[in-house]
């Protein structure tokens, strides 16, 4: 037997070979080149074992395989050697999956926990895929999110297994499927409780049960001329969501299938070529960078610093209600306090809806989350909570009053946090006997969608242990924590507000709202500044704008006040820069404005870039990478541009 580093191979009493992956020095199984090498060696050893079959499984508790080695995709287009390495790696991945598929015994991938990218491609090369029904089991081909598409043969094998109408959406969206859904759509063969996982895998080998086949009428779609028509439809659908100039990968995937879908060996070859070409694009390089930035943010919080069980939220409004529900959905006990019974009733009402949207048909998770969310008008939870988050309205005096009371009742080791978006931390902390305990935990609206959590500290007041605890808490509730210095607007609002106000100014100068918003979206922003202003509420925009304008020296456009005087507050009143019906935007008429659209875009984006540079100079965040990460995950800033500082650098070097 070979002396393996990253896997073990043994035979059981049923004469079945077990290949258990346990990649050394990594918390999750990653298909690094040396791991692929070992799988290849294992394939040739299995041939001499005269086994009844082979089961591939994981020796890690957290999941099956986290995917390919994304380090291999890092580089720049001038560094030719990197691309050669990437090319070699893709070839190695394809060959490994070919070897698994080519074994003349029955093979099974046994999945519990995550299974992503290259891990899914390796599973697809097996005869059977058995997955658990655990909510942690998530199977995906998320390569598109890195600006590429599957490259280890996954484009061919997923279509062969599931049919094009199921496989393409999986690859084009990068969506993850639970074991149950995977079995329903033909990705997995069986979905079973964890206690039956092994026996089901063994059963598959000993009995080779019949496999589901893709219906003939679906197969017809893969033949010419239907293939071209289906590809055209897919292209149209994808174009609605992604600009081909910004995101070429989904279009390359559709073209790959359109051109070579009928011929597997041709498609394998062109899959590899297409992926290596995509890796070279600036989009893929920036998206790979974003992937690592996300890991960097995840690494900021050291979970071992605390093990929170109970969170107490004060204020059951828009933010407090959603923060409480989010924490309950993450498995924590939550008490939520508000002086108004009506507000508390609304928290539960809204939680019902939000949790249904999050967990879909998973009624057990919905029920358990609701059980953990307890209205607490009297604030009894303060005394026992590990973390106390204040989210009452933006009023310094009232917030001070609340914290004075909280400090008296809370445990001495409890984290005290405010969700304020504009009040300097030191102003609130002033009334505390232990001001160094207070931190900001600034969530973004909507809490269920925005991954970033600003952990706000005041250099002179906050104890650094508290900031570290805040970051650790952020990881416990599955947010991306970013430490930011307490200053006007912290990081995100400070960068977003000048962009938003520039949009309002342009409108005041006669540029139609649709032109302004389109210019921003063409750059890659998820929402134009005026639709954003309508969504936030024009009254809130003016309020925050006033606070920031005095400290940042921004000119406030007059037309905001005019809108407010006419009770046009945006989405919530049905009118703002746009019209809304039942909360939905009424499609505005096209404009025939003939001015310089590029200049509009420049004006909007340069506001964000300028403010980003100032934030760095003032040390609001520690470095440019963290600033990029914060702005991407806090505002949705065009991810394919790699963040404002990365964009500035690439503009300067162009």
Compare residues 393 and 448 and give the one whose CB is closer to ligand NAI.
393
Which CB sits closer to ligand NAI, 68 or 382? Answer: 382
Task: Kindly name the residue from 121, 222, 454, 502 that is annotated as catalytic.
Answer: 454
* Binding test (CB under 6 A) with ligand NAI, winner from 54, 402, 504, 513: 402
Report 323-382 residues binding ligand NAI (CB under 6 A). Answer: 337-340, 343
Stretch 412-431 residues interacting with ligand NAI (CB under 6 A)? 419-421
Q: Which position's Cβ is nearest ligand NAI?
A: 317
Full DSSP string of 113-138: SEEETHHHHHHHTSSEEEEE--TT-E
Rounded to a whole number of angstroms, the minimum distance from the CB of residue 10 to ligand NAI is 54
* In 208-280, alpha helices (H): 216-220, 226-241, 249-260, 264-279
Residue 116 phi/psi, 5-degree rounding, is -125, 155
Interface with ligand NAI includes 391 (CB under 6 A)? yes
CB-wise, 448 or 593, nearer to ligand NAI? 448
Q: Which stretch binds ligand NAI (CB under 6 A): 257-265, 310-318, 474-482, 580-588?
A: 310-318
Rounded to 5 degrees, φ, ψ at 169 are -55, -35
Nearer to ligand NAI, 317 or 331 (CB): 317
If we measure between CA atoms, which residue out of 483, 481, 441, 442 comes closest to residue 459? 483
284 contacts 147 by C-beta, under 8 angstroms: yes
Is 88 an annotated catalytic residue?
A: no
Q: Which member of 29, 58, 82, 493 is catalytic?
A: 493
Q: What is the 3-state secondary structure (H, E, C) of 617-649?
A: HCCCCCCHHHHHHHHHHHHCCCHHHCCHHHHHH
Residue 514 binds ligand NAI (CB under 6 A): no
Residue among 203 and 572 whose Cβ is closer to ligand NAI: 572
Question: Whole-number minimum distance, CB 536 to ligand NAI, in Å?
Answer: 6
Residue 242 CA from chain centroid, whole number: 17
CB of 608 to ligand NAI, least distance (A): 19
Q: Would you give the distance in Å from CA 258 to the centre of its chain?
A: 30
Q: Which strand (E) or helix (H) includes residue 107? A: strand 106-111
Burial 599-638 (b: 16+ CB within 10 A, else e): ebbebbbebbbebbeebbeeebbeebbbbbbbbbbbbbbb
Query: Segment contacting ligand NAI (CB under 6 A): 296-304, 394-402, 514-522, 643-651?
Result: 394-402
Measured from the CB atom, the residue of 185 and 318 that comes closer to ligand NAI is 318
- Choose, by CB under 6 A, the member of 19, 131, 183, 314 that binds ligand NAI: 314
Active site annotation includes 421: yes
Residue 477 preceded by cis peptide, ω within 30: no
- What is the nearest approach in angstroms of ligand NAI to the Cβ of residue 422? 6
29 classed as catalytic: no
C-alpha dist (Å) from residue 516 to 128, 591, 599, 623: 52, 11, 10, 31
Count residues contacting ligand NAI (CB under 6 A)?
A: 23
Which residue among 29, 123, 421, 612 is the active-site one? 421
Q: What are the Cα distances from residue 131, in Å, to 7, 46, 339, 607? A: 20, 23, 47, 49
Residue 393 contacts ligand NAI per CB under 6 A? yes
310, 442, 476, 507: the active-site residue: 442
Q: Which is nearer to ligand NAI, 398 or 586 (CB)?
A: 398
Distances (CA, A) of 231 to 141, 252, 256, 639: 19, 11, 10, 26
Instruction: State the maximum Cα–Cα separation within the chain, in Å, rounded to a whole number.
Output: 83
Instruction: Looking at residues 422 to 481 of the shown chain, list those that interact with ligand NAI (rule: CB under 6 A).
Output: 443, 445
Does residue 320 belong to the site contacting ligand NAI (CB under 6 A)? yes
- Dihedral sign computed on CA atoms, order 19, 25, 27, 30: negative
Provide, rounded to whole angstroms, the least separation between the CB of residue 377 and ligand NAI.
9
Catalytic residues: 421, 442, 454, 493
Instruction: Tell me which residues touch ligand NAI (CB under 6 A).
Output: 314-320, 337-340, 343, 391-394, 398, 402, 419-421, 443, 445
């Amino acid at each position: 037997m070979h002396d393996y580093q990253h896997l073990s191979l043994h035979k059981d009493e049923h004469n079945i070979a077990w290949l258990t992956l346990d990649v050394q020095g990594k918390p999750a199984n990653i298909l690094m080149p040396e791991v692929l090498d070992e799988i290849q060696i294992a394939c040739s050893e299995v041939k001499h074992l005269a086994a009844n079959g082979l089961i591939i499984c994981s020796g890690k508790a957290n999941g099956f395989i986290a995917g390919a080695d994304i380090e291999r995709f890092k580089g720049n287009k001038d560094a030719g050697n990197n691309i050669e390495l990437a090319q070699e790696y893709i070839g190695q991945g394809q060959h490994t999956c070919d070897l698994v598929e080519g074994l003349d015994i029955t093979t099974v991938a046994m999945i519990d926990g995550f299974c992503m990218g290259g891990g899914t491609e390796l599973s697809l090369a097996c005869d059977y895929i058995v997955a658990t029904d655990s909510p942690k089991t998530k199977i995906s081909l998320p390569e598109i999110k890195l600006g590429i598409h599957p490259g280890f043969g996954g484009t061919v094998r997923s279509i062969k297994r599931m049919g094009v109408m199921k496989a393409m959406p999986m690859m084009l969206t990068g969506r993850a499927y639970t074991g149950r859904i995977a079995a329903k759509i033909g990705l997995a063969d069986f979905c079973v409780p964890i206690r039956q996982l092994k026996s089901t895998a063994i059963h598959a080998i000993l009995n080779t049960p019949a496999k589901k086949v893709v219906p003939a009428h679906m197969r017809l779609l893969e033949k010419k001329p239907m293939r071209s028509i289906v590809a055209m439809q897919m292209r149209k659908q994808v174009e609605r969501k992604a600009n081909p100039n910004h995101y070429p990968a989904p279009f390359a995937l559709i073209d790959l299938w359109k051109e070579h879908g009928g011929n597997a060996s041709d498609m394998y070859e062109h899959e590899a070529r297409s992926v290596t070409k995509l890796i070279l694009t600036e989009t893929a390089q920036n998206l790979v960078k974003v992937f690592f930035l996300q890991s960097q943010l995840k690494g900021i919080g050291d979970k071992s610093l605390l093990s929170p069980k109970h969170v107490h939220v004060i204020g059951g409004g828009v933010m407090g209600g959603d923060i409480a529900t989010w924490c309950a959905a993450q498995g924590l006990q939550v008490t939520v306090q508000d002086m108004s019974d009506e507000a508390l009733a609304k928290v539960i009402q809204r939680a019902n809806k939000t949790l249904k949207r999050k967990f879909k048909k998973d009624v057990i998770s919905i029920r358990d989350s609701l059980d953990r969310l307890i209205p607490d008008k009297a604030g009894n939870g303060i005394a026992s909570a590990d973390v106390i988050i204040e989210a009452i309205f933006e009023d310094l005096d009232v917030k001070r009053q609340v914290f004075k009371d909280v400090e008296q009742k809370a445990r001495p080791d409890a984290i005290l946090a405010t969700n304020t978006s504009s009040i300097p931390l030191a102003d609130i902390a002033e009334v505390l006997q232990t001001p160094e305990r207070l931190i900001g935990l600034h969530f973004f609206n909507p809490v269920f969608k925005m991954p970033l959590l600003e952990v706000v500290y005041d250099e002179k007041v906050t104890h650094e242990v508290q900031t570290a605890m805040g970051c650790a808490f952020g990881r416990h509730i599955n947010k991306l924590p970013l430490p930011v210095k307490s200053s006007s607007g912290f990081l995100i609002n400070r960068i977003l507000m000048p962009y938003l106000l520039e949009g309002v100014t342009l409108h005041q100068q006669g540029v139609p709202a649709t032109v302004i918003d389109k210019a921003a979206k063409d750059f890659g922003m998820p929402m134009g500044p005026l639709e954003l202003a309508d969504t936030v509420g024009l009254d809130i925009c003016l309020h925050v704008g006033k606070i920031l304008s005095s400290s940042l020296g921004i000119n406030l456009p007059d037309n905001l006040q005019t809108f407010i005087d006419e009770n046009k507050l945006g989405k919530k009143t049905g009118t703002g820069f746009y019209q809304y019906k039942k909360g939905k935007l009424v499609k505005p008429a096209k404009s025939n404005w003939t001015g310089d659209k590029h200049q509009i875009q420049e004006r909007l984006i340069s506001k964000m870039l300028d403010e980003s540079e100032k934030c760095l100079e003032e040390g609001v965040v520690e470095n440019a990478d963290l600033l990029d990460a914060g702005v991407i995950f806090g505002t949705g800033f065009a991810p394919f541009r790699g963040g404002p500082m990365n964009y500035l650098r690439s503009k300067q070097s162009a």
